[in-house]
Amino acid sequence: MEIRTIGVVGAGQMGSGIAQVAAQAGYQVVLVDVAESFLERGLSAIRRSLGKFLEKGKLTQEAHDEALGRIRTSLVLGDLGEADLIVEAIVEDEGEKRRLFERLGSLAKPEAILATNTSSIPITALARHSGRPERFIGMHFFNPVPLMGLVEVIRGELTSEPTREVVVGVARRMGKTPLEVQDYPGFVSNRLLMPMINEAVEALREGVASKEAIDGVMRLGMNHPMGPLELADFIGLDTCLAIMEVLHRGFGDDKYRPSPLLRRMVQAGLLGRKTGRGFYAYDEKGNRLA
């Protein structure tokens, strides 16, 4: 099956990034969200990202303009009816995703592939609600999508081999390295990353060290580009909590129990960069304040 048009549902950080790399790869893109303000914010992020590539000489003016020209936005889910591949990039909530895929399964053309950008929810559980489990797959991109090279490709129990082959080819055309992993909660990336972040939150709660010291140990001692608490702010504490809850529920093991401090911060609306405050404070552009 040849992929010409890619639909993306959700114009947030991940969805706008997926739309950008798809357009840069030469695909026609339909970006859908529930409000015009969300779409405009997503397009603004795409323009900024492409603009930086242009300034750095990584993109010609022609390629810049062509990529932007391949993206159209819509508030109507039905406008994805002719898409060959639809990638879901909405909130990390299994109920919301299930309801979306029930609708997408009904409106997408029969041969279309449905993919989820979930970072933790089992693919087989979502595929059943799409009505087309053989044409359903996980495509887990990483943030920021235009810069990160990995896509975790996760087959559900009934995902067909042709579906896998098509999606692997799409990821490679986008300039990504597709790595195939099995359908377990958290896959590989978040099964390893989130418990580390959660343990850093617990260390902070227990008073083992300050947030600056915890992050400094991992940056300077382990050569991580940013510490786990700063990374949690970047990802979003609500997303971190949601993933930990998926791991805890999926494995039934208390080693994945979310830190009470993480839960309290989410309840307080301290979600990280997107709210201006998490473990650290941020300005309106997302820059960390001293």
Q: Which residues are catalytic?
A: 119, 140, 152, 190
221 assigned binding-site residue? no
Rounded to 10°, the helix 260-267/189-205 angle is 90
286 assigned binding-site residue? no
Cis peptide before 144 (omega within 30 of 0): yes
175 assigned binding-site residue? no
11 assigned binding-site residue? yes
* CA–CA separation, 256 and 42 (whole Å): 33
Strand ordering across the sheet containing 5-9: 71-74, 28-32, 5-9, 85-88, 113-116, 136-141, 150-155, 177-181
**How many other C-beta atoms lie within 10 A of the C-beta of residue 98?**
15
244 assigned binding-site residue? no
255 assigned binding-site residue? no
Nearest CA to 53 out of 73, 26, 93, 24 is that of 24
* CA–CA separation, 217 and 223 (whole Å): 9
Backbone dihedral angles phi then psi of residue 272, each to the nearest 5 degrees: 110, -150
109 assigned binding-site residue? no
211 assigned binding-site residue? no
169 assigned binding-site residue? no
119 assigned binding-site residue? yes
The annotated binding site for NAD(+) is made up of 10-15, 33, 92, 97, 119, 143, 274
The annotated binding site is made up of 10-15, 33, 49, 56, 92, 97, 119, 143, 274
The annotated binding site for CoA is made up of 49, 56, 119
